Structure 1
């Protein structure tokens, strides 16, 4: 009886052993037979192409940023430094060049040490090729059999990978697909993220840090866990020494080094030119819709690894951003101090309520059907949040209401620099901080009143209509009865009575500007503006002369370029070319040919006038306060109640436009002293040019001088820019002349003129 039980027990154990021994083979057979889903065939494996981040570049080829779903940039094996490959093999698969995708010796070692001896130090036994298979074809859920089935699938795919690709190609494929944490895929993207360098420039210790992350891209992330990462790096270095890739001396030298990151995150919010990159993103998404790959599908900006080359200049962009930050931080402090406790973002409840009701959180709560009281209660609840401050962001306990009030107070800036001959955009700053203020103040869709920066178009139109540069206009204030008794005023009391256009532009005399418009005609001025590519709505009213039109910063730059470009405006150009991932040019971009909007002589005379603005007028602080030695022309602009400050700054080969104001026009400067364009906007240009002057690379721009006027043009402008009244008697007789009348009516004649006309009639 006992012997029967013994035999049954032995039989049962043998059967169980057979099942345990044979089951892997049955699972393996089932995987190969496709019982658990089809294994990728050779065609699919040959056509492996991972999602690639598209890269956008400065004009000199430096990386500007990326567009991606997963931050991944592929590199060829030949581009990988030897020590990166050695670190990978020494740490992850020492017998890589000896096996054919599956390391059976390693599998047996793992089986006996892990299963029999219960020693978890043996590792997982997966080769680099198997890990690549897992990266390319993610694991699936097969219930209780998930682990063995997925392992066998990876082994089967690994064998096919080894049949189709060389060992070097497998290494490259692996390093291009493996995740490194922080939403980064591939060693090239990881190198740029953690060290701001290409993988080809990594040092041995840096390579060891990145390879060490492969064991756990979060657990060994050097940004998050620097000490843990250091320990793991030293393990990688020890493995390299163990397999002969490092000497003992090298091992200890590298292990003694600290981890020093140069962490660079290329998101839309971070990195250089975020507003420009967002503008390009929108433009490129449209481009992709009309450009197709060989298979007929449209290009995908986020997955097809496009190479996008732009006109943006790396040095100018950095100079513009630093200039903006320097000035706006100081201006914000002065702005808040000027308003004090009576600031509108503190006292104007209607303004605050309106701003609150524009927030996404308010709109979301309202959509859920909450009452106004319930919404208000929710929005007044305090929580920890990070608030932007120029001196450094603050972690505070605040409510949504507090946050809205906080952000209402901030002044914004827009700055663009452009080549006046080609329209190539060299620098683009759309705001003070893209993470907190996404509204772009350079974009063509963002329009603000332009103030006196519109006056050059009025004066240019007058020249085109035959008004002489030396014609004098009275600065006397006029009340226009047919314009609801509108009486334009000058910003400051005028000390002179008659101005030429040059004198009026130099000192930005409003009353004269309106009279020049009247002389020229509103329709003629609007026509010129249209020919200068200004497409914004232009109100056909006398106040157009004072810049009541809303125009975008980028439009203004293209129009002003005509004064530097022989009367020809330019269309902004931002793209040079787009290439595919292999470097094949998909499209090259050429600036559209433009027609002259004014005569070359008009553009030269206007440029001479705007040099006077800098040398003697509202922009003269560029020379006496900022000590800029450059040849400059320009125009300041300030709108009603100091809501917008403008400055157009021009060198012979560069045109720039700067705007400063609050996002909400109901937030404005309390005084003209701080709010005028010469104070609010001009300093950004000054600091920008100061940085260019200190860089010899830009000498061709900063040291260029304006061409002298020809003798014929000098003769036309040879007059005093202003003069006093001509004698007491004439002043007495004309004191009341034209003080009240209709805009556009034929000018009334003075008393002396009437007498002269009588005698002329008698003579006839």
Structure 2
């Protein structure tokens, strides 16, 4: 047939057209599975919204879900013409003239891009095809999806085909309505109704042209032009949209002048229920799977996955109960100590006068107020001082009250929080995850998002370094003053740490006794002997990932670490010297139960089995040596049956800011941190603020509940016997002195070696009283 066409150029043109037709047919039919899925006419006629994913405990109980609950569809008649006009003028000015694909815009956009002015050429219908049918997702791609340039070409062709199908079935009004009901506006807002409510507390038919332009302007880049986080850029983008509306006669010149001079005018008072069964675990799973979802092109909020975690529902319940019981008591103790006085103090005990104003400036709304009032501090202060109705967290339940934003900041700054995690080292499975006292009001996760000074819970890494470099648990040092000279950033420094009680006994102590009693002076001497650089190396080796400043005080916990890291590192000792990558998820299936991915624990031998077992023996010293800082656990009668053994380490940072307890049983490792989110808020005495009085009781109450449940799978019993032959002397004779139970686990160092406050509570000033950090 082609030979009959004598004109060479016409023949080539016809061949080219035939090739295009065949190519599009191959895409539509997914020929030889080369091109992947394309939505057919039935898909177009009955489009399905995204299917959320579900998260389960290891024993099959639903923890939470991921879905766009705040996607509230509206009809065309419920949408302001200003929104429609802004959308068409900005995104697809020829919308009413094309049939789904605008080749004129496509080619002009290619020319603009070639000249360095990159702009998109997709129509509103094409964007709807992408939003509704995910035509560019990896799961929608065949063999050619692995070829970069071909993949892009096939995806674009799929969009064109899908857009034509959409235009064939739906009219222009229906297409606009579907688009506005599915498009994302950032801040987990999907659809125009959710966006108008969230940003302006209005329904879509009530917004002004300026408000419509702000929302449509966000579609170019929801983060960059977010009016809450980037008000200046949002204002600039809004005015660009308004100018487009004027250019295409959707807005008069007078109206453009009027609206372009207005401030953004957000109204953030709308409160929606979008908890989705929210919890610290649900968010931790989302963070844990973030890279996996990106690498495998899955969306937790749309792909209907079923995610099975390692969390034990029984242990999780017991942990949450223990936290509630003990934190309620701790908060009462804290309130009694401070009374009506403000607890935010510097290291000398002086009240921090600008505490509230600095916290105001950390709130997301502060930048918006500065822009709105042009830096007028009187008006900004007036906003923060204005009383509002809000719900607040209390240990007696959620309560309605009237607070100004300043009242709210002061109220939440006084509240103590916690982070707790339990792991089974032999399997690497995380059994318990408690990110705080109440996720609704304190959604910052204190297990792996927060990092705080570890205090004396970091000391074991110094003793580990010593044991792995020639020392034995029986080697002796004298509790006496220490002076260590070192160079830090080119300056000569001298470190002279005190014990927590500012007393030196001048007694000779074994390393096991010194660690069990948490003696700062001996830990400092040991640090000087083995080298603080080496201690940093060993801490990283067993599981600490945070950067650690190599200074002498490192062994007393001067660096910030997370509960997650500490539990992981301590697990190395119970796991025969093997470091683990903790497992939070074991399996992911699709909506029909077909397995997509299974996860297994990764282990690496980082210290010898002998040293690992000796460290467990050292940890038992906290209970067995005179003055051991774990001995408050004797109060928990439910822990001491059937020759049960528990090892652990308390920790307290300077000024009783952070309280820690790391507990080890024959099966589990648990880490607990207690403190206020702002480091200037803390207890005042060792009797109230040390880790043995704040974090340890949570561990004790938790393990009592675990042991009391015969179905938990965790029983009483002694620590394991040596896994290998122990070549170092360790069965040291007990010292013959009276037991001094005074805790000496707190950190004592020059103030300038401490890190500044990093976790400041962000209190929602809009009326909910919810911590937004």
Normalising by structure 1, we get a TM-score of: 0.61
Checking the alignment, whether the CA contact within 8 Å between 2:495 and 2:552 is kept in structure 1 is: no
1:545 is aligned to 2:555 = yes
Checking the alignment, whether the CA contact within 8 Å between 1:52 and 1:70 is kept in structure 2 is: no
Alpha-carbon distance in structure 2 between the residues aligned to 1:711 and 1:375: 67
Partner of 2:462: 458
Query: Equivalent of 1:389, from 380, 388, 394?
Result: 394
1:556 is aligned to 2:555 = no
Cα distance, 1:689 vs structure 2: 0.9
Cα distance, 1:42 vs structure 2: 6.0
1:602-751 alignment, distance < 5 Å: 602-616=611-625, 617-629=628-640, 630-698=644-712, 700-709=713-722, 713=726, 716-720=729-733, 722=735
Partner of 1:164: none
Checking the alignment, whether the CA contact within 8 Å between 2:480 and 2:506 is kept in structure 1 is: no
In structure 2, relative to structure 1, the CA distance for the partners of 1:140 and 1:687 (3 Å cut) is farther
Alpha-carbon distance in structure 1 between the residues aligned to 2:400 and 2:589: 43
1:566 is aligned to 2:579 = no
Cα distance, 1:403 vs structure 2: 0.5
Alpha-carbon distance in structure 2 between the residues aligned to 1:677 and 1:42: 65
What is the SS of the residue equivalent to 2:600? Answer: coil
Alpha-carbon distance in structure 2 between the residues aligned to 1:361 and 1:715: 61
Write the deviation string for residues 150-192 of structure 1: whole angstroms up to 9, x where unpaired: 9xxxxxxxxxxxxxxxxxxxxxxxxxxxxxxx9xxxxxxxxxx
Aligned residues: 492
Checking the alignment, whether the CA contact within 8 Å between 1:499 and 1:721 is kept in structure 2 is: no
Partner of 2:607: 598
Partner of 2:304: 305
Cα distance, 1:591 vs structure 2: 1.4
Cα distance, 1:711 vs structure 2: 11
Write the deviation string for residues 56-105 of structure 1: whole angstroms up to 9, x where unpaired: 11111211110001499xxxxxxxxxxxxxxxxxxxxxxxxxxxxxxxxx
1:474 is aligned to 2:487 = no
Alpha-carbon distance in structure 2 between the residues aligned to 1:721 and 1:479: 29
Write the deviation string for residues 369-410 of structure 1: whole angstroms up to 9, x where unpaired: 241111001110112111111112221111000011001001
In structure 2, relative to structure 1, the CA distance for the partners of 1:597 and 1:318 (3 Å cut) is same
Alpha-carbon distance in structure 1 between the residues aligned to 2:274 and 2:693: 31
1:380 is aligned to 2:385 = yes
Alpha-carbon distance in structure 2 between the residues aligned to 1:615 and 1:140: 77
1:337 is aligned to 2:342 = no
Alpha-carbon distance in structure 2 between the residues aligned to 1:270 and 1:319: 23
What is the SS of the residue equivalent to 1:405? Answer: helix
Alpha-carbon distance in structure 1 between the residues aligned to 2:172 and 2:427: 61
Cα distance, 1:411 vs structure 2: 0.7
Alpha-carbon distance in structure 2 between the residues aligned to 1:271 and 1:51: 18
Alpha-carbon distance in structure 2 between the residues aligned to 1:319 and 1:678: 20
Alpha-carbon distance in structure 1 between the residues aligned to 2:648 and 2:440: 32
Alpha-carbon distance in structure 1 between the residues aligned to 2:379 and 2:534: 56
Write the deviation string for residues 343-383 of structure 1: whole angstroms up to 9, x where unpaired: 32595331121112112232321132241111001110112
What is the SS of the residue equivalent to 1:484? Answer: strand
Alpha-carbon distance in structure 1 between the residues aligned to 2:323 and 2:667: 21
Partner of 1:263: none
Partner of 1:424: 429
In structure 2, relative to structure 1, the CA distance for the partners of 1:66 and 1:710 (3 Å cut) is closer
Cα distance, 1:283 vs structure 2: 3.4
Partner of 1:294: none
Cα distance, 1:468 vs structure 2: 2.4
Cα distance, 1:710 vs structure 2: 8.2
Alpha-carbon distance in structure 2 between the residues aligned to 1:588 and 1:349: 53
What is the SS of the residue equivalent to 2:444? Answer: coil
1:117-516 alignment, distance < 5 Å: 269=275, 271=277, 274-291=279-296, 298-345=297-344, 348-368=352-372, 369-443=374-448, 445-482=449-486, 484-492=493-501, 493-495=503-505, 497-516=507-526
Write the deviation string for residues 9-40 of structure 1: whole angstroms up to 9, x where unpaired: xxxxxxxxxxxxxxxxxxxxxxxxxxxxxxx9
What is the SS of the residue equivalent to 1:312? Answer: coil
Alpha-carbon distance in structure 1 between the residues aligned to 2:70 and 2:378: 44
Alpha-carbon distance in structure 2 between the residues aligned to 1:706 and 1:275: 31
Alpha-carbon distance in structure 2 between the residues aligned to 1:569 and 1:589: 17
Alpha-carbon distance in structure 2 between the residues aligned to 1:41 and 1:486: 73
What is the SS of the residue equivalent to 1:489? Answer: coil
Alpha-carbon distance in structure 2 between the residues aligned to 1:506 and 1:636: 9
What is the SS of the residue equivalent to 2:602? Answer: coil
Checking the alignment, whether the CA contact within 8 Å between 1:415 and 1:427 is kept in structure 2 is: yes
Alpha-carbon distance in structure 1 between the residues aligned to 2:735 and 2:657: 30
Partner of 1:56: 55
Alpha-carbon distance in structure 1 between the residues aligned to 2:293 and 2:582: 20
Alpha-carbon distance in structure 1 between the residues aligned to 2:724 and 2:300: 55
Checking the alignment, whether the CA contact within 8 Å between 2:663 and 2:671 is kept in structure 1 is: yes
Checking the alignment, whether the CA contact within 8 Å between 2:462 and 2:523 is kept in structure 1 is: yes
Alpha-carbon distance in structure 2 between the residues aligned to 1:602 and 1:450: 22
Alpha-carbon distance in structure 1 between the residues aligned to 2:529 and 2:40: 80
Alpha-carbon distance in structure 1 between the residues aligned to 2:700 and 2:441: 26
Alpha-carbon distance in structure 1 between the residues aligned to 2:43 and 2:510: 77
In structure 2, relative to structure 1, the CA distance for the partners of 1:367 and 1:723 (3 Å cut) is farther
Partner of 1:753: none
C-alpha RMSD of the superposition: 3.0
Cα distance, 1:518 vs structure 2: 1.5
Checking the alignment, whether the CA contact within 8 Å between 1:633 and 1:649 is kept in structure 2 is: yes
Checking the alignment, whether the CA contact within 8 Å between 1:498 and 1:722 is kept in structure 2 is: no
Deviates more, 1:619-628 or 1:340-349: 340-349
What is the SS of the residue equivalent to 1:705? Answer: coil
Alpha-carbon distance in structure 2 between the residues aligned to 1:563 and 1:333: 36
Checking the alignment, whether the CA contact within 8 Å between 1:651 and 1:702 is kept in structure 2 is: no
Cα distance, 1:454 vs structure 2: 1.0
Checking the alignment, whether the CA contact within 8 Å between 2:455 and 2:557 is kept in structure 1 is: yes
1:61-100 alignment, distance < 5 Å: 61-70=60-69
| Bigger Cα Rg | 1
What is the SS of the residue equivalent to 1:414? Answer: strand
Alpha-carbon distance in structure 1 between the residues aligned to 2:276 and 2:683: 30
In structure 2, relative to structure 1, the CA distance for the partners of 1:685 and 1:640 (3 Å cut) is same
